Every structure is written in C-alpha cells, then in structure tokens.
Amino acid sequence: MNRDIACALIDEELGRLRNISYAELLKMMDKPSTIDVQGPDGKRYQIERQAFWDSEKDGNIRVMVSADDAGWSAFKPLSGAFIISPDGSFIGERP
C-alpha cells in the first residue's frame, strides 16, 4: 500500500464528511460503511467510514476514516478523524 496515496484518500473523504451537518452525521452513528476506490497508482483501496459518540451520548461526534489495501495493511490501517459538536463547530481546531 502506498502510504501517501492512502493518506490523500483519507483526507479527501474526511473533507467530504466535514461538509455534512451534525444531523446528517447522526445517521451514520454506529453504522460503519466501506467503499472501494482505485488510487492513482491503479491499486484498490478500501475506505472505511464510521461515526460514534466521542464521550457521551448526544454530545460530540467523532468521525473516523481509515484506509487499507485489503491485504496485510487491513491489520493496521492508516486513519484520520475529526470531532464535531452539536452546534456544528469542530473541536480541537483553530478558527
């Protein structure tokens, strides 16, 4: 697996998910989903998306995206995440 490509695919998916409202992200709660994409290197990457409570129910949501090549890297996928509060602001980021 090409780490740079996997990281770029993770960042792209996180960017897409950051444009979704808190209410829409609630619909993803505890329902992990995967998509298969072809990287620019021609290889297949599996992208997993999941949303879950960061600490307490009805509070902040942590959204995580991970990527692997469905091979050995599935045991230790690369990942990225963000946290969004109920008011739609992102936690841990500078304005």
pLDDT in tens, the chain (95 residues): 889 999 999 999 999 999 999 999 999 998 999 999 999 999 999 999 999 999 899 999 999 999 998 777 667 789 999 999 999 999 976 54
**pTM, full prediction:** 0.88
Please, what CATH class does the domain formed by 3-84 belong to? alpha beta
Alpha-helical (H) ranges within the chain are 3-18, 22-26
Task: Name the CA radius of gyration of the chain, rounded.
Answer: 14
**87 DSSP assignment:** T
Nearest to 33, CA basis, from 55, 16, 56: 16
